[in-house]
Amino acid sequence: MGVVGQFEKHFKFEERGKRRIHKKPSAAEIAACKPWLEAELAIVQPELIVCLGASAARSVIGPHHRLLEERGRFFAHASAEFVTATVHPSAILRSPDPARRHLDYQALVNDLIAVRQRLHRKAGSA
């Protein structure tokens, strides 16, 4: 059973002092990298793809995917039986409010539990 996430091949950033702030890839950059992503998915042949973050979700699911509205939902996909998306863990780490960070962390955990349950259901029906 193969499970693959969106692999970041490039780290586009802006320097702010000693920090490097991630910059969202453009549609042209996503399109340029799509053949490599599709080739990797063809080799791995995952049953389930979990996209971490909006950029990964838009790259894999499509440009109209709205992460916060559709997170945790499972979609059929040409490269895997299912694909789903959730927030990138770094987004939780950047949350300035501890209470909000706790809620966001628990939502991520719930999304990942749903992934595990989906895989167990799949394995149980095989």
> Mean of the pLDDT values across residues 32-38?
89
- Give dist(CA 50, CA 48) in Å, integer: 7
User: How many folded domains does the chain comprise?
Assistant: 1
Q: Could you list the residue range(s) of the whole structural domain that residue 107 is in?
A: 3-125
Most confident residue range from 4-13, 27-36, 70-79, 115-124: 70-79
Structure tokens at 100: 């909000």
Count of CB atoms situated within 10 Å of the CB of 114: 16
For residue 53, which phi and psi values (nearest 5 degrees)? 100, 165
Residue 96 per-residue DSSP state: S
pLDDT in tens, 106-126: 999 999 999 999 998 877 766
We report the CATH number of the domain holding residue 59 as 3.40.470.10
User: In terms of Cα–Cα distance, which of 9, 64, 49, 1 is closest to 32?
Assistant: 9
Q: How far apart are CA 96 and CA 48, in angstroms?
A: 32
Asked whether 46 and 2 are in contact (CB, 8 A), the reply is yes
Q: What are phi and psi of 17, to 5 degrees?
A: 65, -125
pLDDT in tens, 53-103: 998 998 899 989 999 899 889 999 999 999 999 999 988 988 889 999 999
Beta strand segments in the chain, E:
3-5, 13-16, 19-22, 48-52, 75-77, 80-86
Q: Which residue has the tokens 């109209």?
A: 64
Show the tokens assigned to 24: 């969202």
